[in-house]
Amino acid sequence: MNIFKKNAVLTAVSLLCFLSCSNNASIEDQMMAPPTDGDNPPVEEDTLSYGEKAKATYDMIQKLYKSGDLYKENFPQQTGDNEYSYLWPYVGMLTAGNILYELGYDKAIFEKEFSGLNAYYDNRNTLPTYQAYPTTGGSTDHYYDDASIVVMELLKAYSLTKEAFYLERAKTVTDFIMSGEDSRMGGGLYWFEGQSKNCTEGTHCIKAANTSAYAAYITTELYKLTKETRYLTFAESVYQWVYNTLRDPSDNLYWNDINIGTEEINTTKWTYNAGLMIMSGINLYEITGEQMYLDHSINTARGAYSKFTKVIDGQFFYQTNDPWFNVELLSAFIQLAPYDSKTEVYIDVFIQNMDYAWEHARNDDGQFYEDWSGNRKGRYYWLLHQAALIEAYGNIALYKNEMKEEK
């Protein structure tokens, strides 16, 4: 993931966060209450299902962003853009392929997106993996977090098709990801391979919550499939490192990273770091039966709903930047819902945000604003911000059991 995206400014602490820190029961009830329309005009009922909205968003991307078999990074083009997108936004389209296929759309969409992924595969002699930009552009960095989100989609593809290639490729790339962990700072994973085990200083010489939480999640998923103990041992160790090193005990959310040279913690908190620790905790609970993991996940979900929502024009909205990060949190809430009834409220707020965005936060080309409240366009031109809506609408369609047709 490039440095510009990693340095995005986090939304300020909201009024809702302030309220939810109180021990007053009536204020907690206010926090849990679903959003109201307030002074906003009512949203007109839409005839499209959530699955159809996911497909319509996919079609919009095909029209605006397609570049050969791959995609442009932005539409309209931005200064410094390359011919094709980086791997990170491309994985958003892998997710789209998986979700649309699961909903009953033509498998050709799924096959198209996974075929395009091959352009990023660096089949090197040692620890082959996906690189940040298509290999036709030369050698580029190999990121542990990017590789992890690819593995998540490979494993989903395997669950949908039972084709051995997807599982075997996931295992190969996971070997690369697991190589990003060592004993410095007590454990955890570096951010990317190019500046990792030998680094001693600099802003990129870090152990990070995202890489470590992703690694914990995918190795629990692989343990469920393979029962190989090395995956579970690794997952438990890395999960515990994030929990012990980067958790803020005041709200059970996670700081972004710790610097190797200075040992300073970057206290920025992101929705997706919370989401991946929730999902990793649920998996560890399901595998081991240890209640503490589920308790961790529930406590982090509570903190995330409080921290990352605020009142805008009389309605609750999740943070108004980085929607792909937010959608990772939505996925975590959906996974947690069977274990925690309060999570249904958190999901309902997401759905109402998505409904509002469909009506009030799109431009004439159908692109969604980065800010789903519609107050700012933000980086609406970035492919990943558009792909996030396919995942969001698709996940809600699955959550509500909306299926296009039987495959």
pLDDT tens over the chain, length 407 residues = 544 344 333 333 333 333 344 333 333 344 455 444 444 434 444 689 999 999 999 999 999 999 999 999 999 999 999 999 999 999 999 999 999 999 999 999 999 999 999 999 999 999 999 999 999 999 999 999 999 999 999 999 999 999 999 999 999 999 999 999 999 999 999 999 998 888 999 999 999 999 999 999 999 999 999 999 999 999 999 999 999 999 999 999 999 999 999 999 999 999 999 999 999 999 999 999 999 999 999 999 999 999 999 999 999 999 999 999 999 999 999 999 999 999 999 999 999 999 999 999 999 999 999 999 999 999 999 999 999 999 999 999 999 999 875 44
Alpha-carbon distance 361 to 326, whole Å? 16
Total-model pTM: 0.89
What is the predicted pLDDT for the residue at 195? 85
pLDDT, one tens digit per residue, over 286-322 is 999 999 999 999 999 999 999 999 999 999 999 999 9
The per-residue pLDDT for 405 is 55
Sequence spans of domains, the chain: 13-82+308-324+342-407
Joined together, the tokens standing for residue 72 give 């442009």
Residue in the structure block whose two tokens are 């790339």:
173
Residue 223: both structure tokens together = 């343990």
112, 196, 106: which is closest to 405 by C-alpha?
A: 106
pLDDT at 29: 45
State residue 46's pLDDT score. 61
What's the rounded Cα separation, in Å, for the pair 365 and 135?
A: 31
What separation in angstroms does the CA of 391 have from each of 30, 215, 396?
29, 21, 8
pLDDT at 26: 35
pLDDT, one tens digit per residue, over 110-134 is 999 999 999 999 999 999 999 999 9
> What pLDDT is attached to residue 342?
97
Query: What is the structure's pLDDT at 196?
Result: 83
